[in-house]
Every structure is written in C-alpha cells, then in structure tokens.
C-alpha cells in the first residue's frame, strides 16, 4: 500500500507549500467542514486565466461561460473511467469512480501541474490498487480535504436508455457528521448532464474531454443543489487506448486525475 500512501501524502505536503509561499494557513479543518466551505479562499480565482482562449474554436458543443466570477469549490478527482465494449466493437462509457479532494489551497496557476503530478503517482501505483482503495483509505484518514466521491448512475429520467449521469456525492466522508443535523441533504449532492464538450487541449487521444455541466432536473426540480454549474478541466488520462474493442473482452478501466470547478449552488450563499 506504499504507493497509495505516497499518493495521499501529496496532499499533506500542501501545508508545507502554503508556508513556503507565505499563504495564510486555513482555519481548523473540522470547523471549516461544518460550515461547508473550501479550505482556502477562491474569490479571486478566474477560470478564464487557465482555460485556453481558443478552447471553443470550431467546436459543435462549446464550453459555456461561467455563471459567476469565481467558483464555490475547486476539487481534484482521482480514480477510474470505466468503459464496456458494445456488440458493434465500439466503447461505451459507463462513468467510473473517483475520490474527490479539496485543492482550493493549491494556487490557481499550479493546479494543472499538481494534477498531472498526482496522475503520474496514480499511474505508478500497483495494478491491483483500485479506485475503491483510494476511497476507503481517504475515508479512514478522515482528512479535511477528502470530500466525497464521483460516480455514475443510469439516466434518472429514463434508466432504460443506456446512458449514465455523473453524481457528485459529498455526504459520505468529511461532511457526514455535520450533515447529520442538516435537513437539506440535497445540498451535498448533484446529478449532472453535459452542456458543453471539447477535446482536451493537450494529448486528446490520452486525456478525456473538458466539459461543462448543469444540474439534471426531474419533475421541475434539480437533482441536487450542490452547484448550478460544473467545469471539468485539467483532465489527465481517462480515455480508451483504442477506438475499437472486442465485444467478448473485459471492461476497460482508465486511470484519471482531473479538476472540477463548481459554481453557484446552495453553498454560494450559505
């Protein structure tokens, strides 16, 4: 389990990095988690400074502009993207499983490199180390930066249509105890759908697309109020290794590390 320990230890080094940069240390982690805020201030983070200006050029489904000047949360996801092979020999994405970490204390201009470094550590881990191991270890560590999980569920509007939607679940680890006395548990969840999709700016054959997402609505209500908009950027890995596949072969798991920027939602005003 040493490689996993090294992966999680990377986040402990954030404290040293903050000290070296003379960044004020965040307040006590449990207090912060009880008020459901990021560990460090994000009010000056402008996503347009880290997204290439040409990202939407020639794209049929461009990324939408952010709905606010700054994000409510910035999170790192580490885990697997999961694919299955259809009878016609093409891959179908089944989503995956990722552990989510608060990286608000990583300076905005360092997050791309930090995420790439985490991906390299993840790629170097033993083959029998799974995304579930990361989830379980993060939960046992009870670290303030371990926030929850991302997983996919069959389309809530039509479970039989064969598509899947992402669910960001922040009610399972760091916030679990604080949520116990909180009536609106929808504020710790979000089920989303894509509103924009463009190739990754670097090595799109290896790195999955950058996307914008919005809350999926059912019966006129959003399925979760954690955010009103999500950006997925700084994507490392997560793609298939080929365009075609063997319908009789196993599912394909692709390691990935990427960032989510969340805008609006319940916690933007609470």
- Residue 90, domain member (yes or no): yes
- The answer to whether residue 53 is domain-embedded is no
Mean pLDDT of 34-55: 89
Percent of the chain with pLDDT over 90: 63
pTM above 0.95, yes or no: no
Is 202 in a helix, a strand, or coil? coil
Q: How many domains does the chain have?
A: 1
Report if residue 23 sits inside a domain: yes
Confidence of residue 23 (pLDDT cuts 50, 70, 90): very low
Query: What is the arithmetic mean of pLDDT over 139-147?
Result: 69
Domain that holds residue 28: 2-47+60-268
- Residue 236, domain member (yes or no): yes
Asked if the structure places residue 32 within a domain, the reply is yes
The 10s digit of each residue's pLDDT in 57-87 is 999 999 999 999 999 999 999 999 999 999 9
Is residue 173 one of the residues assigned to a domain? yes
Does 52 map to a domain? no
Residue 71, Cβ density class (10 Å: 0-12 exposed, 13-18 middle, ≥19 buried): buried
């Amino acid at each position: 389990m040493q490689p996993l320990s090294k992966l999680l230890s990377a986040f402990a080094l954030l404290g040293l990095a903050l000290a070296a940069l003379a960044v004020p240390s965040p307040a006590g982690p449990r207090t912060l988690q009880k008020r459901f805020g990021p560990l460090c201030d994000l009010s000056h983070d402008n996503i347009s400074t880290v997204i290439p200006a040409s990202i939407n050029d020639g794209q049929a489904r461009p990324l939408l502009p952010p709905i606010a000047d700054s994000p409510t949360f910035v999170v790192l996801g580490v885990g697997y993207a999961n694919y299955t092979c259809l009878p016609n020999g093409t891959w179908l994405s089944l989503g995956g499983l990722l552990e989510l970490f608060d990286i608000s204390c990583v300076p905005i201009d360092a997050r791309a490199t930090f995420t790439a470094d985490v991906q390299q550590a993840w790629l170097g881990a033993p083959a029998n180390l799974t995304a579930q191991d990361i989830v379980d270890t993060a939960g046992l560590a009870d670290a303030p930066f371990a926030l929850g999980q991302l997983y996919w569920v069959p389309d809530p509007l039509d479970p039989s249509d064969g598509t899947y939607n992402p669910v960001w679940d922040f009610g399972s680890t760091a916030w679990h105890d604080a949520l116990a006395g909180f009536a609106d548990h929808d504020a710790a969840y979000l089920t989303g759908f894509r509103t924009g999709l463009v190739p990754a700016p670097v090595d799109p054959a290896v790195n999955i697309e950058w996307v914008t997402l919005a809350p999926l609505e059912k019966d006129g209500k959003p399925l979760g109020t954690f955010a009103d908009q999500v950006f997925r950027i700084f994507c490392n890995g997560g793609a298939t290794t080929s365009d075609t596949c063997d319908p009789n072969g196993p599912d394909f798991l692709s390691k990935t590390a990427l960032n989510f920027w969340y805008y609006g939602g319940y916690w933007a005003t609470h």
